[in-house]
Amino acid sequence: MPKFNLMSYIMPPEDKMFFTYFQESAEICLKTAKLYDEIMHNHLNDEYKEKALKYKRKGKLSYKACLKQLNKSFITPIEREDIQTIAVQLNKITKKGLFEFGSVQIRQLHGRNERTGFNFGSGNGKTR
């Protein structure tokens, strides 16, 4: 005779899907940060640009999938607002890192480092 488990009907199901999306987004953030570090030590080239765009796409897909799953779920393992906040913040981290790639590219085009004010392109010293 099978046992009737009342608690399985009362308690929400264990849904690990959100944590999978958070883990995936955090890994994308880490890869983006490592790529930014590589770019700061080397020059920005087409290979780095392609990787950055790939990470941008992956981050956006993970973000959208998480929100889509949130919209489908009636019962969530943590508060809905918390899930949405975590997903948004992880997406912002990735977007901010990718925004910095654009500023590195602009600095390389102008041949000037904004932070120090030194002009690397002309070799005539400090220009402010």
| DSSP per position, 65-117 | HHHHHHHH-SS-SS-HHHHHHHHHHHHHHHHHHHHHHHHHHHHHHHTB-TTT-
- Write down the pLDDT at residue 118: 46
Q: pLDDT per position in the chain (128 positions), as tens?
A: 556 666 655 555 566 788 999 999 999 999 999 998 888 888 778 888 889 889 999 999 999 999 999 888 887 888 889 999 999 999 999 888 777 777 776 666 666 555 555 444 444 444 44
Predicted confidence at residue 45, as pLDDT, reads 83
DSSP 62: H
Instruction: Return the structure tokens found at 65.
Output: 């999938």
The dihedral built from the CA positions of residue 18, 21, 26 and 27, taken in this order, carries a sign that is positive
